[in-house]
Structure formats: C-alpha cells, structure tokens
Chain A
Amino acid sequence: MKQVAATMAGTVIQVLVQAGDQVNDGQDVIVLESMKMEVPVQAQAAGKVVEVKVNIGDFVNDGDIIVELE
C-alpha cells in the first residue's frame, strides 16, 4: 500500500480525488492552506485511490497520511 502524506501543517481546502480514481505520480491530490499560503500535495507514486482520509476543513499535521493508494 502506498500513501500520500501532508507536506506541511494546515487546513484542507480542496480534495481533488476520490476513492476509485487512478492518480499519476506527481498529480495534485489535495490542497492545504496554512499561513496565507495554498500548497498542493502531490502523490509520490501512481496508483488507485483506496481512501481519502481527510475532508475539507480538516486540520492536518506535517507527515499525516491523507490518501491511501493501492
């Protein structure tokens, strides 16, 4: 199982994928906002999304798992 982790602490402002989607390496999966900055988080590998573990408005910490890939 591959995972996508948050690259910084912040609030989830966009979820760009859902379970069942096929994502490519480097594709944006969610957008975080922190300290006036919007930062997209990319998948580090290609795969099928098994679960999106966050919702819009959730606060995540640096390193938290946000998406599980097959």
Chain B
Amino acid sequence: MRKVLIANRGEIARRIIRTCKMKGVATVAVYSDADKDLPYVREADEAVHIGPPPVPHSYLNVEAIIAAAKSTNADAIHPGYGLLSENEAFARRVGEEGIVFIGPAPKVIGQMGDKLTARHIMQAAGVPVVPGCEAPVETPDEAAEMAATIGYPVMLKASAGGGGIGMQICRDEQEVRQAYQSAKGRAKAYFGNDAMYVEKYVERPHHIEVQIAADEHGEVIHLLERECSIQRRHQKVLEESPSPFLDQATREELCQAAVLAAKAVGYTGVGTVEFIVDKNKNFYFLEMNTRLQVEHPVTEEMTGLDLVAMQLEIAKGNPLGVAQEDVKALRHAIELRVYAEDPSTFLPSPGTIALYQPPVQEFVRIDDGVEAGTQVTPFYDPMIAKVIVSGATREEAVQRAKEAIEKFLITGIKTNIPFLQEVLADERFRAGEYTTWFVQERVSK
C-alpha cells in the first residue's frame, strides 16, 4: 500500500493524512469547490477536485471518487466516517476496481447497516439486544400492537437509520399511531428504505460503545469502551474513557459481548459496537458502526494505540500486532466536540472564522479541520474541531479539559464552547453521574 485516497474532508481527512505521513504512505485528498482552501487539501501529497459543494455531487459522487483514485494511481481508499464510509455498494465498487477498501467486507457493511438484520445476527450469536420486534411493522396497527406487547415507552425506528436519525420515542398508543406515518415517510426520504421497527425504550440510559479491531487472520480484540452519553439531538458532544459508570465486571462482560458481535459477522478492520446500558447495568446491542468513529482519539489517548495505523496494517493483510492483554487504560481521556452552532439552541452557525487559536498544552490534542479565515459552509457537518485531553485520573483530565477549552479562541462564528464549559463545570458531570438525558435535564432546569 503506497498511496491512499481519502474519500472524506475536514478534520478526519487531516487526521488520516497525519498517520499516513508517519507510515511513509502517500495521500490523495478529494475536495469540493467549498473546501478548496481547507488545510487538509494542502497537506495531502495530491488533491483532486471532485465537484460542487452539495454532497451528492462531490463526497457522495462515487464515479468522481473512483476516477480520482484511478487518475492518481491510489491503491487504497480510506472512507473516514459518515459520507460513503458505510455504503455497501461503494465498498464493493472500490474492490471491483482493484482498489483496497480500508474497512470491512461490503457484505458486513450491508448487514450492519440494516438494523433489523443486525439485531437478528446479534441475537443468534448470544449478544443481548433491546426487546423488540423481529420483522418490520407494516402498518400503524401492527406498530401499535407490537408496542403493546413490548410495553411502553417504545422507540419507533427506521431499519436503515442509525446515528440518532430516524427514530422517535412513543409513550402511548396514540403517539405510536401519530408518529408512524411521518417517521416512515422520513425514512423513505432519507434512506430510500422505509422499513420500520419497534424497540423497548430504555429510560435514562447510558450510551456506551466498545472499540474493536479484527484482522484477516481471525484475531479479534477489543480496545475497551467509550462513554458517549453526553449528547444533544441524539448526537454526541463529549466522550470519555474509561466510563465512570461501569464497574470492572460489567466492563469485562460488555467488551466480551463486543468481541462476540464482531466475530458473529466476520468483521475485519476497526469498528465500534454500540450498547444501551440501563441503570442496573444491563446492556443491549444497539448498532455496529463499521468504520473509524469520530471519537476514536479517546481510545488512542487512553491506550497509546494509533487506530488509523491499525486500519492500514489490517487492510494490508497483516496481523493485528497487539495482543488483548497488552490493551490497557493507561490514562483517562476526554474528547470535546467543537461545533459551529449556537451554544444554547444548538442551531447551526455557518460563517467565516476570524480568529482561530486552539490551546497548546501538554496532554491536549487538537484534531481540527479549519484555521483563521476558513469559511465554515452550510453544506457539511457543523463539527470543526475536537479537543482530546488526557490525565492520570479522571479528575486531572476534567480539570485539563476545562483549562484547554477556556483557552480555545474562535471568533467570527458562534460555537458551542460556552456549552462545553458548562458541561465540564456541572456537578453531576464532575461526579461522573450522567445519562443520555444529561443535556435535556440541564436545559429544563
């Protein structure tokens, strides 16, 4: 593997370039008109323009990306996260073109992308799943009937959904009936697949995920968990590891369940198994993300491992090179996601960054995709930077995170930095006592 094309943009493209450089692998960036001045485009060895700003014409444009890989003689494609990273057809196409897709087999992406299929596979493998239905519910009547069997409250979900999109909490029959048609319509529009299913809604849950890595020789290991319960609109804002909620016995069971899940689908590459954990520490499989995760640096700063380097080695067909017993939580790590958004309404705030001064501090890592003068456009995700801190203890990491985020200076656009400061100062957060309801409970206070 001599040259990798990165089918992504912004901070993650830049982060992948960094490891490729270190490993002596050449990089090709692709960019839309809106991104031509971003740092990652300059930092790659080569850069290819792939189209106008809207993603269907650029970052989701399979033909343009394949053409870019061919014209630059790239022998592998790294999809990053989001965009085409969990697109079965794209992964298959890349392989057919004789290019290595850095990720699992296309079939695995497809199986895990369909949430009902994923549930079946996990159940069969003995991984606990949230109580729910086995087949799609086709009508509001069927949905209501299923919900009554499971018991309220329930979560109405799109089988093709994920990442918090296409789901709705329903607390009674009337809500299920009301939500069904509109949710189905949205699923059709967003995912092109309107299969819906019903799951038990776990109250005040924790969202905890396990990082796994698997090579092509059958070796599967876990890289411990990440606590991802601080979310707004079902999207993560802050992640930390180890989870302050888990005890050692539950942690071990959870991580083993993730390894079992990865083995059940014949997973290769790095991936994430997401779980819902209730207040009694019962855990249930939620979904599997068949790609590098946004919050992967938390695991890197905790364990000292480089997940992108692992991805490259696995894609080359090499063995993992890390044994399970060598994976240790050496430090406590926290990631703060900096979004271009209003800190109280969480509404997007595109615009031009005037001043940009990230903190420079020991044990503080900045993964960002912007600089002073960058125009943050409305076409893409609002995340512009990640601040990853670590400490010998959770207390030290939290204190360091507080210092780092206070020093992060961004003007010209609104950011959620004031909100992140509030989270870090919150007593319940400091005590490590929080669930996915944390943000909404704060707002309603």
Complex-state Cα separation, A62 to B379, whole angstroms: 16
Asked whether, in the complex, the Cβ of B345 is within 8 Å of the Cβ of A34, the reply is no
Cβ contact of B381, chosen from A33, A35, A62, cutoff 8 A: A35
Cα–Cα distance between A33 and B380 once the two chains are bound (Å): 11
Output the nearest chain B residue to A33 by Cβ-Cβ distance.
Answer: B378
In contact, B349 and A9 (Cβ under 8 angstroms)? yes
Q: A7: CB under 8 A from chain B?
A: yes
Whether the pair B380, A8 counts as a contact (CB closer than 8 A) is no
- Measured as residues with beta carbon below 8 angstroms from the partner, the interface class of chain B is 10 to 19
**Quick one: which of B358-384 are within 8 Å of A by CB?**
378-382
Give the residue of B342, B345, B348 whose beta carbon is less than 8 angstroms from that of A10: B348
| Structural contact, B378 and A7, CB atoms closer than 8 A | no
Interface size class of A (residues with CB under 8 A): 10 to 19
| Chain A nearest CB, measured from B353 CB (Å) | 14
What sequence of 0s and 1s flags, for each residue 323-359 of chain B, a beta carbon within 8 Å of any chain A beta carbon? Answer: 0000000000000000011100101111100000000
CB distance from A62 to the nearest CB of B (A): 7
A-B contact count (CB 8 A): 39
A35–B378 Cα distance when bound, in Å, is 5
Q: What residues on B are CB-neighbors of A36 within 8 Å?
A: 380-382
Of all chain B residues, the one with the shortest Cβ separation from A61 is: B351
Contact (Cβ within 8 A) B378 A59: yes
* Binary per-residue interface labels of chain A (18-45) against chain B in the complex, 1 for a CB within 8 Å, 0 otherwise: 0000000000000001111101000000
Task: Find the B residue at minimum CB distance from A9.
Answer: B350
A contact residues around B342 at 8 Å (CB) = 8
Docked-complex contact A35 and B350, CB < 8 angstroms: yes
Chain B residues in 8 Å Cβ range of A9: 348-351, 378
Residues on the A chain within 8 Å of B378, using CB: 9-11, 33-35, 59
Contacts of A37 in B (CB 8 A): 347-348, 382
Residues of A within 8 A of B380 (CB): 35-36
Is B351 in contact with A35, judged by CB distance below 8 angstroms? no
In the assembly, what is the distance between CA of A26 and CA of B351, in Å?
27
> Chain A residues near B340 (CB, 8 Å)?
35
Min CB gap A11→B, angstroms: 6
Which residues of A are found within 8 Å of B347, using beta-carbon distances?
7-8, 34, 37, 39
CB-CB under 8 A from B382, the residues of chain A are: 35-37
Residue of B nearest to A10 (CB): B378
Q: Which of B341, B348, B350, B381 has the most CB of A within 10 A?
A: B348
A16 to B378, CA, bound (A): 21
Nearest CB to that of B341 among chain A residues?
A35
Closest residue of B by beta carbon distance from A7: B347
Residues of A within 8 Å of B381, CB to CB, are: 35-36
Q: State in angstroms the CA–CA spacing of A59 and B382 once bound together.
A: 17
CA distance A62 to B349 in the complex (A): 8
> Digit string of B381-396 for contact with A (CB within 8 Å is 1, else 0)?
1100000000000000
Can you name the residue of chain B whose Cβ is closest to the Cβ of A59? B378
> Residue on A with the closest CB to B379?
A35
Pair B345/A35 contact, Cβ less than 8 Å: no
Question: Which of B349, B378, B379, B380: most chain A Cβ within 10 A?
Answer: B378
Chain B residues with Cβ below 8 Å from A11 are 378
For B350, list chain A residues within 8 Å (CB).
Answer: 9-10, 34-35
Question: Quick one: which of A7, A10, A35, A37 has the most chain B CB within 10 A?
Answer: A35
**Complex Cα spacing A36 to B350, Å:** 12
Q: How far is the CA of A36 from the CA of B348 in the complex (A)?
A: 9
Docked CA distance A10–B348 (Å):
8
With A7-B347, A9-B348 given, name 8 new contacts (CB 8 A): A8-B342, A8-B347, A10-B378, A34-B350, A35-B382, A36-B381, A39-B347, A39-B348
30 residue pairs from A and B, CB less than 8 Å apart: A7-B345, A7-B347, A8-B348, A9-B348, A9-B349, A9-B350, A9-B351, A9-B378, A10-B348, A10-B350, A11-B378, A33-B378, A34-B348, A34-B350, A34-B378, A35-B340, A35-B341, A35-B348, A35-B350, A35-B378, A35-B380, A35-B381, A35-B382, A36-B380, A36-B381, A37-B347, A37-B348, A39-B347, A59-B378, A62-B349
When A and B form their complex, which 10 residue pairs have the shortest distance between CB atoms, in order from nearest? A35-B348, A34-B378, A34-B348, A8-B347, A35-B382, A9-B350, A10-B378, A8-B348, A35-B378, A37-B348
